[in-house]
Amino acid sequence: MDVNKRVCKRCLIREMAGQEKIYETIQRMIADLPETERAPKALREERLSACKQCERLTDGMCAACGCYVELRATIADQTCPYDVW
């Protein structure tokens, strides 16, 4: 294992170097969502802030459910499986 590459606990994909392709894919998925299905930006950022404080966030993913939190937080009718938001 490369000692310079570590799992980024409590980081979002948008904050991680070397994850540009995954980030671009997530952004395309978000762009494809109808505007009516997207959470308002302030709500999305509030959700992501809560995720960043959660012990289950690892490498931009929720270890509890396996989602990319940036995508889940963007979908208006989604909730956290552990009621963090």
What pLDDT, in 10s, does the model give residues 10-32?
799 999 888 999 999 999 999 99
Backbone angles phi, psi at 62, to 5 degrees: -85, 120
pLDDT in tens, 17-72: 889 999 999 999 999 999 999 999 999 999 999 999 999 999 899 999 999 999 99
- Please, which residues bridge with residue 68 across strands? 61
pLDDT attached to residue 6: 56
The yes-or-no verdict on residue 2 having pLDDT over 50 is no
Residue 10 CA to residue 15 CA, distance in Å, equals 10
| Annotated domain spans of the chain | 13-72
